Amino acid sequence: MGAILAFETIGFRHGTEAETLSNISFELARGQIAIVSGAAGSGKSALAGLAALALRPSRGRLRMFDVECGEARPALRRMLRRRIGFIGDGLPLLPQLSVRENVALPLAILGVSERETDQRIGELLDWMALTDRADAHPEALSHGERDRVAIARAVVGRPELVVADEPLSSPDAQEAARVCALFERLAELGSAVLVTARMTGWAAGLTARRLRIEQGQLL
């Protein structure tokens, strides 16, 4: 199994502030799930942001899909982002679009045919128990439903890497089981899944590599 994502002595700081992440090194292989847990402010979101190519490392080497992408140009970073599914606060649902349209956005960017788009969205909304809400707009959804729409949008393009930063805002057992099953299914299909979360009890049943981050350092 080749590494999809490789951090090598990565450091990250916002501007001139102290480093949020220091000497982060780890690899994530195809079909692997990794859960990084840590307290608030420990650097989880920065780690997820780097893995989703939303942030650039201050030092170290970041390799993704066998491409050196720490200093990659914006156009290359955008091309690589098409292969990543990101779930997190940085990517809100667009209020002017329905659930179906929000979920279809990555497919439009990937240039998927309308027929295949309809098919994939139908299956995914069914899986995420959102079929009845397909034409609703985000403001009409509950927190849990919004989480599921964001997850559906992240995975609809069958990304090779899924980065989930606190994917569930208020997980109940049914929701957690659904999301864990989805991540396991994605891993079976060959995707790598990186989950960062403060509380990871909801993912206790997930077969995953477990890492802990404290004060910007992986333990």
Partner 1 sequence: MTRLPALLDPRGTGAAMAGFALLAALATLAAAAAFVLGIEATRIETMARTLTVAVADSDPAAQAGRAAAVQAMLRERRDISDVRAVAPRDLAPWIAPGETHPAMIDATLLPGHDEHPLRRALAGQAGVAVFHEGDALAPLATLLRTLDHIAGWIGFATFIGMALIAALTARARIVGGEEALALLDRLGASGPQVAALVRRPALREALFGGIGGLLFGLAAILFIAGALQNADVGAVTAVRIPLSAWAILAGLPPLCVGIAVAAAQATALAIWARRR
69 binds partner 1 (CB under 8 A): no
User: Is residue 136 part of the contact set for partner 1 (CB under 8 A)?
Assistant: no
- Least distance in Å: CB of 91 to partner 1? 6
Cα separation, 146 vs 133, in Å, equals: 10
Nearer to partner 1, 73 or 219 (CB): 73
Would you count residue 205 as binding partner 1 (CB under 8 A)?
no
The count of other CB atoms within 10 Å of the CB of residue 43 is 25
Q: Which of 15, 111, 139, 173 binds partner 1 (CB under 8 A)?
A: 111
Question: Left, alpha or beta for 111 (phi > 0: left; psi -120 to 50: alpha)?
Answer: left
Contact 153, 105 (CB under 8 A): yes
Q: How far apart are CA 153 and CA 120, in angstroms?
A: 11
User: In the complex with partner 1, which residue's Cβ is closer, 91 or 136?
Assistant: 91
The strand pair at 3-12 and 59-64 is best described as antiparallel
Task: Based on the shown chain and the rule CB under 8 A, indicate whether residue 107 belongs to the binding site for partner 1.
Answer: yes
- According to the binding rule CB under 8 A, does residue 15 interact with partner 1? no
The structure tokens listed for 132 are 């009845």
Please identify which residue in 74, 173, 188, 219 interacts with partner 1, judged by CB under 8 A.
74
What's the CA gap between 11 and 74, in Å, rounded?
A: 20
x/- mask, partner 1, residues 29-68, rule CB under 8 A, reads: -----------------------x-x--------------
The alpha helices in 82-162, defined as continuous H runs, are 99-110, 114-127, 143-155
Decide: 20 and 60 in contact? Cβ < 8 Å: no
Closest CB to partner 1 among residues 16, 113:
113
Minimum CB–partner distance for residue 96 and partner 1 (Å)? 7
Cα angle: 64, vertex 181, 183; to 5 degrees: 10
* 101 belongs to the binding site for partner 1 (CB under 8 A): yes
16 binds partner 1 (CB under 8 A): no
Residue closer to partner 1 by CB (options 47, 218) is 47
91 binds partner 1 (CB under 8 A): yes
Q: How many CB atoms lie within 10 A of CB 68?
A: 12
Q: Which residues bind partner 1 (CB under 8 A)?
A: 52, 54, 74-75, 78-84, 86, 90-92, 94, 96-97, 101, 104-109, 111-114, 117
